[in-house]
Structure 1
Amino acid sequence: MELLDIKNISSSWGIEISNFKKLSERATLVFTTDEEKFIIKRKDNLEHFNSELKLIGLLRSKNFFTQFPLYNKQGELSVPYQNSNFAIYNYLEGSTFGAEESLLNPKIPNLLGETIANLNKIMASADFLREFPSKDLYQLVYGFAVKEIIKVDPSEELQNVYQQVEEEIKNLVNILPKQLIHRDAHIHNIIFDNNSLSGVIDYEIVEVNVNIFDICYCSTSILSEVFTNEKLRGMWINFVANLVCTYNQVNPLSDSEKGSIWHVMLCIQSIFMAYFSSNEDIYKINKAMFQWIYENRNNLERKILLNVN
């Protein structure tokens, strides 16, 4: 979008824009002439947006901090513009933790674990699950990801790994508790201000899936940023153990969930490998992460069980 487009959109809210910064394909940070900041987001599907609003309303009713869209001058939460719809959200003051910082500061896994646990507890109480897509993690991996991976990387070693863990993953996915999850709970969507939560953002891809997906996704998002640094990579398992421990204190995990962290991480890496199968460099780093997590099963599970039990 150009500045003129942003001004046209924001005029429905009576906001005068002086400058902007593109954050992603769907989100733009805007600066007003009064030196205020807001986020403009593109909403391609109003039905999904309405479901998102219902979830945000539930979170706010439970005093959980998050972004919320603002009503415009017509009393609406979005406006149509050039074959799409746009909403404006309040800007949350604060910053996100960096991956290296998250490994070096022992307070951070506790803050992240507590935040995701509280988020998942509230989302588990939602009675409108049918408004969100429901995903089968086993089918995502073996019905989609593995097939895409084999197209570009038909290595016997990789196929043997998938054969070895398939029955375990299939059985665990069938028994793991499922609920609404954030689905994108990486460290850059969790904002803090002086170690106090400012809010969790971006609920565009919320879905029904296994409960522990969010803590596993948060963990692998950090590993992806430090993986090439051997020292930091070695610290990551302790980070995961502390994250899971704090999560469990706030939102207790079942024995099956505690024993499935490793499996869900492999599933997440497989999905990333499939998604980036056409990008050789990104595929290689995600494959290396997959193999490293696979090889470190005993160390990871031992650390988790020592901290959680």
Structure 2
Amino acid sequence: MEFNRILDKWDISNEPIKQIYSSAWQIGDKYVLKTGKDINNLHSNLLIIKALSEQNIPVATVIKTMDGLDYIVEDNSYFFISKKIDGEHLTDIYNSNYPELAYLIGQVIGKLHVAFRECQEDIYCYDNNFYDEIVGWVCQTFKNKDITLIPDNILKQCVSELKDVYPNLPRQLIHRDIHPGNMLFQNNNLTGYIDFDLSEINARVFDICYMSLSFLIDNTDDKQKTKKWFEILNNVVNGYNSVTPLSSEEKKAMPVMMLAIEMLFVAYFVNNDNTEAAEGSAKILLWLWENKEQISSQMELL
């Protein structure tokens, strides 16, 4: 990629460039350059950033080009630059004051959802029915790829339970990819939310489940960590409840929503030929299945 030709549009040059992930680079110590090909997705992303900023939600500030544009298009790809947010990603919640931090994370998600509700009517985002997604491309992938990582009876039960609970869940604009890597903290205070590329209308409890599942990755064999995970889950939910309470239907749905999310991950990773990640997601799904009753019991008490 010819970075200098791109960065000249912002009159930024001679700055060190470091790739953060496949579609983003840190430019010097002040900026982040992002790229992609879906212009509609970009427009939604920029509208979300602007709307949240107007509500004093900490998000990246978009830097305009020398011509006053929010982004440029080069070689069928868009590029935009935002101001780098100070702070660090959470790296290991288990070796911190995890109950307090989990409660804070729940509050952070809750505050984001409240802000989303205020602005979602002004933003076009994909309206996704998660149940339809599961019985659609996810189940079709399991069939077409002959995935045997999860017993068929478990898959059928997950789909059946999701069908029963999903229609009763409150829906709104959600982040959809909320995990520790997409939040920044400094001295246990949130400094910013990042990466709204996947934001969509969906059941709001999806974000809480998604975040909680991130703390199980590579940890289901560690009994000390899984014991702490139940406390983390409780505190994430309690933190969220302190901002915007969950309904009893949402709490009841959380175990099957988590199972369905891991089904999606297995199918996604298989489609991308990432066998190791697919096996990891299947392992989490089976652990969730074994501990489903305990999760359900905890949610009933909250």
- TM-score tier after normalising by the smaller chain length: over 0.9
CA positional deviation for 1:225 = 4.1
Residue 154 (structure 1) shift: 5.3
Kindly report which structure 2 residues correspond to 1:88-127, keeping only aligned pairs within 5 A, or say none: 88-101=81-94, 105-127=98-120
Moved over 6 A (4+): none
1:163 aligns with 2:156: yes
Percent of residue pairs bearing the same amino acid type:
27
Partner of 1:30: 27
Quote how far apart the aligned CAs of 1:240 are: 0.7
Change (3 A) 1:157 1:202: closer
**Counterpart among 154, 159, 178 of residue 185 in structure 1:** 178
1:286 aligns with 2:252: no
Contact 2:158 2:259 (8 Å CA) reproduced:
no
Q: How does 1:95-244 map to 2 (within 5 A)?
A: 95-101=88-94, 105-128=98-121, 131-153=124-146, 155=148, 158-244=151-237
- 1:18 Cα deviation after fit: 2.6
Quick one: structure 1 residues 230 and 146, their matched pair in 2 at CA, closer, same or farther if it must change by over 3 Å?
farther
Q: State whether structure 2 residue 56 is matched by structure 1 residue 63.
A: yes
**Cα offset for 1:266?**
0.7
2:14 corresponds to which of 17, 32, 35: 17
Which AA in structure 1 matches 2:285? F
1:230 shift after superposition: 3.2
Q: Is the 8 A contact 1:10 1:16 kept in 2?
A: yes
Quick one: structure 1 residues 8 and 156, their matched pair in 2 at CA, closer, same or farther if it must change by over 3 Å?
closer
More deviation, 251-260/130-139: 130-139
Q: Any idea what the Cα deviations from partners look like across 1:130-175, whole Å, max 9, x if unmatched?
A: 7211111112112221231244455597211122233321121111
Give CA deviations for 1:251-304 in whole Å, capped at 9, x if unaligned: 111110011111110111000000112332222111111011011112112223
Distance in 1 (alpha carbons) for counterparts of 2:71 and 2:40: 12
Structure 1 residues 197 and 156, CA gap change in structure 2 (3 angstroms): closer
Counterpart code for 1:292: W
Q: Which moved more, 1:92-101 or 1:260-269?
A: 92-101
Which stretch has the larger CA shift, 11-20 or 202-211? 11-20
Task: Tell me the number of residue pairs that the alignment of Structure 1 and Structure 2 aligns.
Answer: 300
- Which of 15, 32, 41 is 1:48 aligned to? 41
- In 2, the alpha carbon distance for the partners of 1:68 and 1:135 equals 28
The normalised TM-score by structure 1 is 0.91
1:45 CA displacement? 2.5
Bigger drift between 192-201 and 46-55 goes to 46-55
Taking a change above 3 Å as real, the CA distance of residues 69 and 158 of structure 1, as seen in their structure-2 partners, is same
Unaligned runs of 5+ in 1: none
Question: Does the 8 Å contact 1:79/1:85 carry over to 2?
Answer: yes
2: CA distance, partners of 1:279 / 1:103: 31
Contact 1:39 1:88 in 2 (8 A): yes
Counterparts of 1:231 and 1:239, CA distance in 2: 12
Offset at 1:80? 2.1
Measure the CA separation in 1 of the matches of 2:48 and 2:64: 17
1:7 Cα deviation from its structure 2 partner: 2.0
What SS does structure 2 have at the residue aligned with 1:131? coil
| CA displacement at 1:206 relative to structure 2 | 0.7
1:102–1:109: 8 Å Cα contact kept in structure 2?
no
Bigger Cα displacement from structure 2, 187-196 vs 101-110:
101-110
- Runs of at least 5 residues in structure 2 that lack an aligned partner in the other structure: none
Let me know the Cα RMSD of the aligned residues: 2.0
Residue identity matched to 2:188: N
Rounded Cα–Cα distance in structure 1 between residues aligned with 2:149 and 2:62 = 50
TM-score normalised according to structure 2 size: 0.93
Post-superposition Cα deviations, 1:160-191, rounded to whole Å, max 9, x if no partner, equal 11222333211211111111110110111010
Instruction: Give, as a single letter, the amino acid of the residue that structure 1 aligns with 2:89.
Output: T
Query: Structure 1 residues 200, 102: CA separation in 2 closer, same or farther (over 3 Å shift)?
Result: farther
